[in-house]
Amino acid sequence: MALSVYSLEGKRALITGGGTGIGLGIAQAMVEAGAKVVITGRREAVLQEAVAQLGSHATYRVNDITDKKAIPGLVEDIESNEGPIDILVNNAGIHHKAMAQDTSDEDFERVLQTNVVSVFALTRACAKYMLQRKQGAILMIGSMAGLFGVDKVVAYGTSKTALTGLVNSLVTEYSTSNVRVNAIAPGWIESNMFLNAINKDEKRKQQITNRIAMDCFGQPSDIGNAAVFLSSEAARYITGVVLPVDGGATVNF
């Protein structure tokens, strides 16, 4: 089999929250696979730094994904001024750490608005063009917390579980137009924020490391490589899957 089926040459990807962490790892992997990427986020300085790192195949748009009224204009701007969006990566999201009994309605709704409602709104806006062209790849970035119970993240876990339902529903409507919809469920991926958090909580760190079957945390590039595969022609007959990239955490006892 020719390795060209894994190439994203000639493709353009829109990656939300693409300036740091997993989003930046996905952007880097896609650029290396030949794609042009547009990354979004709320902090322009962070986006500028990321684009400088990614090189000439990257541009950015300052955007708050929760501003749903701005979403159609964002997509139209990119389609008109950058080119067709072939790949959408719904990576941006927020977290709220609290026990269920200490999670307010406002906290719960805020997480679902960002992690589910805004994701649907952006997906719908991009799919409008993809369905007309009869091609496209849409990726949701889920979580281990959407596959099994994790304490202190009731809002986040619920939002990521909801993405599986969103994937399933969209597959039934988009597949006949050759628009594929999949999700990646990252395990515990190294970042400065993650390492600082677990190093302050030895019990939590031990709980996490015991859960992972392999002997290390993941890297943003691990998620990026999976995203490249699911967006490429190599995965042309794959839609409706939730792919854990977790070092075996989903199945480990």
Rounded Cα–Cα distance for residues 58 and 222 (Å): 20
For helices 44-54 and 21-32, the axis angle rounded to 10 degrees is: 30
Q: Taken in order 105, 118, 173, 144, is the CA torsion positive or negative?
A: negative
Active-site residue, from 6, 60, 129, 156: 156
Residue 174 is among the residues annotated as catalytic for this protein: no
Contacts of 99 (CB under 8 A, 6+ apart): 151, 152, 154
Paired residues of 138 in beta bridges = 88, 181
Hey, what amino acid is at 156? Y
Rounded Cα–Cα distance for residues 70 and 85 (Å): 17
Rounded Cα–Cα distance for residues 37 and 51 (Å): 9
Rounded Cα–Cα distance for residues 92 and 118 (Å): 10
Catalytic residues: 156
